[in-house]
Structure 1
């Protein structure tokens, strides 16, 4: 493995949580989640040389991951969709507390009910990205990102109450 591959591998390992979250929110099964994860990593590798450092590496990774997920989501809309929840196979990101796990499962369930752009906003917000980075990733203004997130908080609260 050359130094570029080692550097890329380290980058993916350090930011795999970001890729997992995108994969989890845009798929309905463990198999699809794993496939999307691999596709995102492939697209990151293909565009790695084009990263110029004009934004944070995490911002670039989010942009590639979201574009890959949304592109695949569009292709798969022709396939039958299921309502089943995916298995959580990345347990190292989730505590074993049953009540907390149930809340996380419910949160993922209601986030998946949102349109794809809103899912991305919520995911980045939950990852504590500043509104400036959220806006940059989605090509909207920072004010628009704030307004959308405030509306989404209300929507998520209502959905969680309805589906609890």
Structure 2
């Protein structure tokens, strides 16, 4: 049973690991912090995987866990990511390096996104991932109407940052 669980997790994770990398890109400013947050997200996903019931797509569930992990870690007053040892199963994950070269033109956008609050960052991230408002509201645990209102406000803030 444990072997099947581990095998399924590894398959699901490897197929969707870019989600975690993108969230790390939005919530961190350097490669070291990116790696630390990626590791913590991976640990939280593994810890919570037995609770994944399949009511939603794995990617939707992964967004939620990853965003909650990023938001909770960066809300702490120290703003320092505390990580745990992942050595028990890290050798089994075929991690691919996040390719920054394709997103150089998005540097200004990421810089602007870094200036938003945590919830606005999550909203913009999910919006940029072309997620429907229904999925955004499920991921963030808010109503669909609230997601639309917050999204409009977040877009306006982003416009003001990009075009002062």
Same fold (TM over 0.5): yes
Which residue is equivalent to 1:13? 14
- Corresponding residue pairs, total: 147
Which residue is equivalent to 1:140? 142
Provide the C-alpha distance between the structure 1 equivalents of 2:157 and 2:146, rounded to a whole number of angstroms.
16
RMSD: 2.0
Q: Residues 79 and 38 (structure 1 numbering): CA distance in 2 closer, same or farther, change over 3 Å?
A: closer
Q: Residue deviations 1:34-81, cap 9 Å, x none? A: 110011011100110111112221221111111111121123x3258x
Normalised by the length of structure 1, the TM-score is 0.81
SS at match of 1:128: coil
Provide the C-alpha distance between the structure 1 equivalents of 2:79 and 2:4, rounded to a whole number of angstroms.
40
Residues 1:90 and 2:94 are matched in the alignment: no
Displaced runs of 4+ in structure 1, greater than 6 A?
none
Give how far 1:157 is off: 1.8
Indicate the larger mover: 150-159 or 28-37: 150-159
Indicate the larger mover: 142-151 or 39-48: 142-151
Residues 1:43 and 2:73 are matched in the alignment: no
What runs of 5+ residues in structure 2 fail to find an aligned partner? 81-96
What runs of 5+ residues in structure 1 fail to find an aligned partner? 81-88
Q: Residue deviations 1:62-119, cap 9 Å, x none? A: 11111111121123x3258xxxxxxxx622x753xxxx723x0010011110000110
Provide the C-alpha distance between the structure 1 equivalents of 2:115 and 2:12, rounded to a whole number of angstroms.
31
Query: 1:101 aligned to 104, 110, 114, which one?
Result: 104
Which residue is equivalent to 1:34? 35
